[in-house]
């Protein structure tokens, strides 16, 4: 996936991409309407946005909403699957951590 947008005059498909901006942990990222939040993050080079209970980084695993590895807090609502959620201009995302304190 490329973070570059195709200029409308060069796009043989004829899309009219509408740019959007999301914020993850205070960092602005740009995408286009129609992308999922996960695809905006992946295109920007972010491959993780959650920490598993054992401290391991997590991001997209299945990409179809079954595994729940790609969850994050979106606009104050926790546990949103970013691979399924369409990006909307102004979305605010916060990474999630579920690290256990103590032994597993």
pLDDT (tens digit, 9 = 90+) per residue, 33-91?
Answer: 889 999 999 999 999 888 888 888 888 888 888 888 899 999 999 999 999 999 999 99
Q: Which residues neighbour 11 within 8 Å (Cβ) at sequence distance 6 or greater?
A: none
With a CB cutoff of 8 Å and minimum separation 6, the contacts of 28 are 21, 22
Is it the case that residue 1 has pLDDT exceeding 50? Answer: no
Mean pLDDT, residues 15-33: 90
Residue 6 maps to a domain:
no
Q: Give the angle 13-18-42 at the CA atoms, nearest 5°.
A: 85
Res 56: pLDDT: 87
d(CA 3, CA 85): 19
Domain holding 74, by residue range, is 18-97
Per-residue confidence (pLDDT) for residue 50, from 0 to 100: 87
Predicted pLDDT of residue 20: 94
The reply to whether 38 falls in a domain is: yes
- Assign residue 89 the CATH number of its domain: 3.10.20.440
Query: Band of the pLDDT at 101, cuts 50, 70, 90?
Result: low
> Model pTM?
0.78
Tell me whether residue 66 is in a domain: yes
């Amino acid at each position: 996936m490329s973070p570059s947008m195709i200029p409308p005059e060069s796009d043989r498909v004829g899309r009219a991409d509408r740019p959007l901006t999301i914020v993850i942990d205070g960092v602005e990222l740009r995408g286009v309407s129609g992308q999922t939040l996960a695809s905006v993050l992946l295109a920007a080079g972010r491959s993780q946005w959650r920490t598993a209970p054992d401290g391991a980084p997590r991001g997209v695993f299945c990409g179809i909403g079954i595994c729940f590895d790609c969850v994050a807090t979106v606009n104050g609502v926790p546990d949103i699957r970013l691979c399924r959620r369409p990006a909307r201009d102004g979305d605010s995302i916060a990474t999630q951590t579920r690290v256990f304190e103590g032994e597993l």
